[in-house]
Amino acid sequence: MSSPPTIERAQVRANFQRAAANYDQAAVLQREVAGRLLERLDWLKIQPRRILDLGCGTGGALADLARRYPQAELVALDLAEAMLQQARRHEGWVSRLRRRRRYLCADAAQLPLADDSVDLVFSSLTLQWLDDPAPAFAEVFRVLRPGGAFLFTTLGPDTLRELRQSWAEADGFHQHVSPFLDLHDLGDALLRARLADPVMDVEHLTLTYDSVRALMHDLKTVGARNASAQRPRTLTGKGRLARMVAAYERHRDAEGRLPATYEINYGLAWMADPKPPPPLDTLPGAIPIMAQRR
């Protein structure tokens, strides 16, 4: 039996460290999705004092967050220091003078923030890089104040389906593309973390390309390299690559373009007021129920 796919965090960090300098040139989808997520803040009647941008990347959302909530302190957090350096570079001098922004290099699963210290956790296209969202959701639970909100986007399993299919046709191997969690698993994980009233929805966006090479180049530039532990470790032979490209060519649309589908999952959950006790298995020293049974 094959083991479930896992994502290697060290590899994710290395990929984004390398991508930081040129990320913005190719991050068309990321900008679009972050923009759509920011618009959803219009629905929320909150006045956050502190906002966490979880996986802020080069900081594309920070200026908008600062404009919407001028009184709030912004905490920009990312696993890759080089991404944070870019984000800091983009910060205007007015914002620097106001000193309402902090940059933290840390893992979403281990936030260097105090309990009940954040009113809004905003996160765009980061959660798909976590092997398991549960530890990060437990951290979101821990740091959110009563009444706080968690608003995020992540990628669903339909993402890059043309590429996945084309590789499968070329060599029968599916792990060329990172695995993605589906909407229901995410909703369940939010509830298990005791985040309240989760609402999830999905939309499909399609980017089109002249060539498979252009798509692969964009993926590489934004750091979206395969980080699954089961990814192929050997160099891809020319024959297999050519077979994959030939398979992808069959997706060419009426306008002569090659589509790349992205399944965008949007999520919103709240911290109940009063805050419930944390889930039992996240308390220090707690033994997960499954382990107790054995």
| Minimum CB distance to ligand SAM smaller for 14 or for 241 | 14
Question: DSSP secondary-structure letter at 8?
Answer: -
Nearer to ligand SAM (CB atom), residue 130 or residue 163:
130
The closest residue (CB) to ligand SAM is 57
d(CA 271, CA 38): 19
- Interacting residues with ligand SAM (CB under 6 A): 9, 12, 16, 27, 30, 34, 55-57, 60, 78-80, 83, 107-108, 124-126, 129-130
- What's the min distance (Å) between Cβ of 293 and ligand SAM? 30
d(CA 201, CA 268): 9
| Nearest residue (CB) to ligand SAM, 30 versus 228 | 30
CB of residue 153 to ligand SAM, shortest distance in Å: 8
Q: Measured from the CB atom, is 9 or 100 closer to ligand SAM? A: 9
Instruction: Name which of 152 and 270 has its Cβ closer to ligand SAM.
Output: 152
Q: Minimum Å distance from CB 278 to ligand SAM?
A: 20
Strand pairing report for 73-78 and 258-270: unpaired
Enter the DSSP assignment of 35.
Answer: H
Our CB check for ligand SAM shows the closer of 78 and 218 to be 78
- Sorted by sequence, the CB contacts under 8 Å of residue 106 that are 6+ apart come out as 77, 78, 79, 112
CB within 8 Å of 97: residues ≥ 6 apart: none
Provide, rounded to whole angstroms, the least separation between the CB of residue 225 and ligand SAM. 11
Q: List % helix, strand, coil for the chain (3-state, nearest 5).
A: 40, 20, 35
Q: In this complex, which beta carbon is closest to ligand SAM, that of residue 138 or of residue 170?
A: 138
Q: Minimal distance in Å, beta carbon 63 to ligand SAM?
A: 12
What minimum distance in Å lies between the beta carbon of 32 and ligand SAM? 10
Nearer to ligand SAM (CB atom), residue 203 or residue 273: 203
Which residue type is seen at 66? Answer: A
Strands (E), 24-174: 50-54, 73-78, 101-105, 118-124, 144-155
- Nearest distance, CB of residue 92 and ligand SAM, angstroms: 18
Residues 6+ apart with CB under 8 A from 223: 15, 16, 18, 19, 20, 23, 80
Phi (first) and psi of residue 284, to 5 degrees: -55, 135
Query: Residue 163: which residues within 8 A CB-CB, separation 6 or more?
Result: 176, 177, 215, 248, 260
Q: Radius of gyration of the chain from Cα atoms? A: 20
Helix (H) or strand (E) holding 262: strand 258-270
Closest distance of CB 122 from ligand SAM, Å: 9
